[in-house]
Amino acid sequence: MEQLMRDFFLFLSKNKSLTKLAKKYGLRFGASRFVAGETIDLAVAKIRELNKNGLSVTIDYLGEFVDNEKEANEMADNSIVAIEAIGKHKLNSQLSLKMTSMGMDISDAVVMRNMTRILDAAKQHNVFVTIDMEDYSRCQKTIDIFKKLREDYDNVGTVIQAYLYRTEKDIDDLNSLHPNLRLVKGAYKESPEVAFPEKKDVDDNYKKIIKTHLLNGNYTAIASHDEAIIEYTKQIVKEHNIPNDQFEFQMLYGIRNERQLELVKEGYKMRVYVPYGTDWYGYFMRRLAERPANVAFVLKGMFKK
């Protein structure tokens, strides 16, 4: 039943008509639990609140189905607005973005031009930028773009997904760049031809790449709400005397809030992924797909007086 619900919400996340409808009616139906707001001002207010509690942030201006140059340029403009807001308000925040939002599916020229604009602005305001990983069909191209950008910028990292068979090799191939990587399990529905279908295999591979990347001496962001993964990371850093400034934990805004604060009190760096914008629908559906408990939270919020 859980897998059916996951597949159902992932299917809904790709529906362009529902995406347009959601933009029209705003952050209703419980999405505000996972999305900071529709404007940069609302997002800034949330980031300030999180920073006061000792939490670091990475902010993401949400966007789905960008298929023309004008929209890609507008997405890049909004990312630069976010960077400038981080600098202006002296926020403890980085920026996350998707290559498809920057025009990767349109042309190499468009995505590289937009990424150069963003990274130049980020460098000016001392902001680190993480390139989110998307579905398998875009994995290699995302890594290729990341490698190209790293030739000129050191304020950029990317994401590696544990559920893909190729991941261990990607970690090895990228090691020469000494990259700052966010390591995740993976949230897209993929074929068993390219991804581990069983949770145990994904978890085992996740632990393997966490250990490898840490022992390689590279900065590692462990993005997981799984307590077993968090405890495993604590064990590894203790066993190998890895300093706390070489890694951080990351979680999504609105999920396991109390645990986030506990990790800060324990002396660990904890970064919250804070999305905002009007194009929240696809992101929201993927959050519902991840855990059935999220659906219960949303339904409770909808009918609560």
Q: Which residues are catalytic?
A: 132, 182
Tokens read off for 8: 């159902």
* Helix (H), strand (E) at residue 251: strand 247-252
Q: How far apart are CA 49 and CA 268, in angstroms?
A: 18
Please list the residues that pair with 195 across neighbouring strands.
164
**Is residue 92 within 8 Å of 57, Cβ to Cβ?**
yes
Whether 106 and 69 have beta carbons less than 8 Å apart is answered as: yes
Rounded Cα distance, 304 and 25, in Å: 19
Q: What angle do CA 30, 33, 34 make, to 5 degrees?
A: 110
Q: What are phi and psi of 249, to 5 degrees?
A: -95, 150
Is residue 147 within 8 A of residue 115, CB to CB? The reply is no
CA 271/CA 249 separation, integer angstroms: 6
User: If you search the block for the tokens 């130049």, which residue do you land on?
Assistant: 120
Q: What residues have CB less than 8 Å from 121, skipping those under 6 apart?
A: 80, 83, 84, 127
